Amino acid sequence: MSTIPHIKKNNDIPTLYVHDEPFIALAGEIHNSSASNLQYMEKYVWPNLKTLNMNSVIVPVYWELIEPEENQFDFTIVEGLINQARENNMHLIFLWFGLWKNSESMYVPHWMKKDTRTYFRACKPTGDAINTISPLCKAAIKKDANAFYHLMRFIKSIDSEENTVIVMQVENEIGLLGTDRDYSIKANEAFSQEIPQCVAEEFQVSGTWKEAFGYDASEYFMAYYFSSAVEQITNAGQKAYPLPCYANAWLEQFPWRAGTYPSGGPVMKMHKMWKLMAPSLFCLAPDIYVPYVPDVLDQYSQNGNPLFIPEVRKDAVSATYALYAVGGCNAICYAPFGIEELLMNPEEIDKPPLEIMMALNIDQSAFEIEGSAAYLAKSYSIIENIKPLYFEYRNTSHLQSFVKRNEHDFGKLLHFDAYDILVSYMPKAPYKPTSGGMIFELSENEFVVIGTMMKIQFLSKPGKDTHVELLRFEEGDFVNGEWKAGRVLNGDEKMMIQLKDMPSAYRIQVYEY
């Protein structure tokens, strides 16, 4: 009998294990409402995932649908989704749309929505209530924790052997929009009090929230209460079935004021508070629609935080970022959002209104899908098939990964044992991946090069009076971890080693003279 999915160290790197084997979730997140109807999933979602080489799909579970009447649970849709995933040979990562989704309380049950006295809202400085139940509302958190407990208990009852469900996201893009903090009566009382002892000790500060954290006091205050609530909910669910759980962040971004992005969510500068108050989460995850994706990947894979990407842009560049996320940042999961649209006709797709994207500072090109399906499918195929090599070499100097970060980034010089390799990036092109990939040093003179939109050149180490030439230049593919050679390109092709737009792999032997 295998253990349930869990996180443990592999080569000193936190790694997801499924059926006791290291696992990389090559995934996509479906649209918010797609999973509310099983027939819709059968007709419009599952068929559109078949050729993308995915092994996992990220799917919402809606509190309002599983507890339509207080303390009466209906898991028909959850069971149906698990059965559909099995039929499609796919794992599931469930999004718990509980108390908070995109900073609002939009998926709480009807009986909770209408009882605003018991389940009180957060307020703006004017006293106006917003459509977000306050994280200081203990009654609401207790109800959410109870529902999450019953959900996890049900998943365990039908899935503890098959492990179709591998990870749980608790809530979605938590925080407050339109205000820096909750100004409800309870929140105002709490804000004026001394900070909790655990916070004082961790941050080495004292006094009220304002005295301790100054300008950012409101955001720290909200982060404390949101993370504390998420811990209570997560802990309740894990008592029933201890699957790995994470929370995701709407990124801090321009104009950089709490409330223009959800105040109190697990953005980078709030990680310390979230790690302190929500230790049951194995990581804090970024939702990435900004143009500077590689910078976010780097940030969220630091300080012991495993990289898990539940939402990322779905244009063609995403195929390259998938390679870098895994090769350079040891990603546990990579998942473009709205994945079921990649195989649809672009004219049939409803894009977010331009004014909304502009208001939220979302890069509009993030939703361009032309060419994306084929590029992403190829990246996913490569990652899945190099896993034995990858898990052997990662966290060593013999695997190096790189990516074009902006228009002024022209390439990277990599240093291996006997040779340097100059990677030259190609200019940005519409509907094409960006430049990037990874290189494995198999031995002093043999390399595997994987990537897209780049040229590479082997160089002697500085000070050596030698030339470097290609001994053997093979195109090919990995199949279940084994290299399957294609053509040997020892003719004119070796004058320039160039990887074009479709992600590809080459095995190269070099020598010096």
Q: How far apart (Å, rounded) are the C-alpha atoms in residues 213 and 102? A: 25
Return the higher-pLDDT residue of 467 and 14.
14
3-class SS of residue 500: coil
Q: Is the pLDDT of residue 1 over 60?
A: no
120 secondary structure, DSSP code: P
Q: Is the pLDDT of residue 50 over 60?
A: yes
Q: Which two structure tokens, joined as six digits, stand for 146?
A: 């109870």
pLDDT of residue 494: 66
Confidence label for 489 from pLDDT (cuts 50, 70 and 90)? confident
pLDDT of residue 492: 67
Confidence label for 456 from pLDDT (cuts 50, 70 and 90)? very high
Burial of 146 (0-12, 13-18, 19+ CB in 10 A): middle
- Average pLDDT (264-276) is 98
Q: How far apart (Å, rounded) are the C-alpha atoms in residues 216 and 338? A: 34
pLDDT of residue 488: 86
Confidence label for 312 from pLDDT (cuts 50, 70 and 90)? very high
pLDDT of residue 346: 72
Q: How far apart (Å, rounded) are the C-alpha atoms in residues 135 and 249? A: 16
Q: How far apart (Å, rounded) are the C-alpha atoms in residues 65 and 84? A: 18
Structure-derived torsion over alpha carbons of residues 120, 122, 123, 124, reported in degrees to the nearest 10: -170
Q: How far apart (Å, rounded) are the C-alpha atoms in residues 232 and 163? A: 24
Q: What is the pLDDT of residues 396-455, one digit of tens each?
A: 999 999 999 999 999 999 999 999 999 999 999 999 999 999 999 999 999 999 999 999
pLDDT of residue 367: 81
Contact by Cβ (8 Å): 35, 58: no
- Average pLDDT (251-256) is 90
pLDDT of residue 356: 65
Confidence label for 359 from pLDDT (cuts 50, 70 and 90)? low
pLDDT of residue 490: 77
pLDDT of residue 361: 64
Look over the chain and give the mean of its residue pLDDT values, rounded to a whole number. 95
Q: Terminal CA-to-CA distance of the chain, rounded, Å?
A: 56
pTM metric for this prediction: 0.95
Confidence label for 481 from pLDDT (cuts 50, 70 and 90)? confident
Please tell me the least confidently modeled range out of 186-190, 342-346, 418-422.
342-346
Confidence label for 160 from pLDDT (cuts 50, 70 and 90)? very high
pLDDT of residue 245: 98
Concatenating the DSSP letter of every residue in 106-128 gives: -SS-HHHHT-TTTSPEEE-TTS-
∠ at Cα 15 (9, 19), nearest 5°?
A: 105
pLDDT of residue 357: 63
Return the higher-pLDDT residue of 152 and 488.
152
- Average pLDDT (168-189) is 98
Contact by Cβ (8 Å): 176, 264: yes
Q: Is the pLDDT of residue 34 over 80?
A: yes
- Domains of the chain, earliest start first: 6-104+140-178+215-385 (3.20.20.80), 396-512 (2.60.220.20)
Q: How far apart (Å, rounded) are the C-alpha atoms in residues 183 and 137? A: 13
- Beta-bridged to residue 334, according to DSSP, are 26, 309
Of 293, 447, 458, 285, residue with least CA distance to 366: 293
Q: Is the pLDDT of residue 333 over 60?
A: yes
Contact by Cβ (8 Å): 489, 470: no
Contact by Cβ (8 Å): 136, 187: yes
Q: How far apart (Å, rounded) are the C-alpha atoms in residues 211 and 376? A: 49
Q: What is the pLDDT of residues 360-383, one digit of tens each?
A: 666 777 788 888 999 999 999 999
* Residue whose structure tokens are 């244009």: 315
pLDDT of residue 51: 95
- Average pLDDT (478-496) is 83
Q: What is the pLDDT of residues 84-132, one digit of tens each?
A: 999 999 999 999 999 999 999 999 999 999 999 999 999 999 999 999 9
3-class SS of residue 490: coil
Q: Which two structure tokens, joined as six digits, stand for 410?
A: 């022209």
Confidence label for 165 from pLDDT (cuts 50, 70 and 90)? very high
Helix 138-159, helix 76-87: angle, nearest 10: 40
Please tell me the least confidently modeled range out of 252-256, 443-447, 456-460.
252-256
- Average pLDDT (16-27) is 97
Contact by Cβ (8 Å): 59, 95: yes
Please tell me the least confidently modeled range out of 70-84, 305-319, 487-501.
487-501
Q: Is the pLDDT of residue 347 over 80?
A: no
Burial of 67 (0-12, 13-18, 19+ CB in 10 A): buried
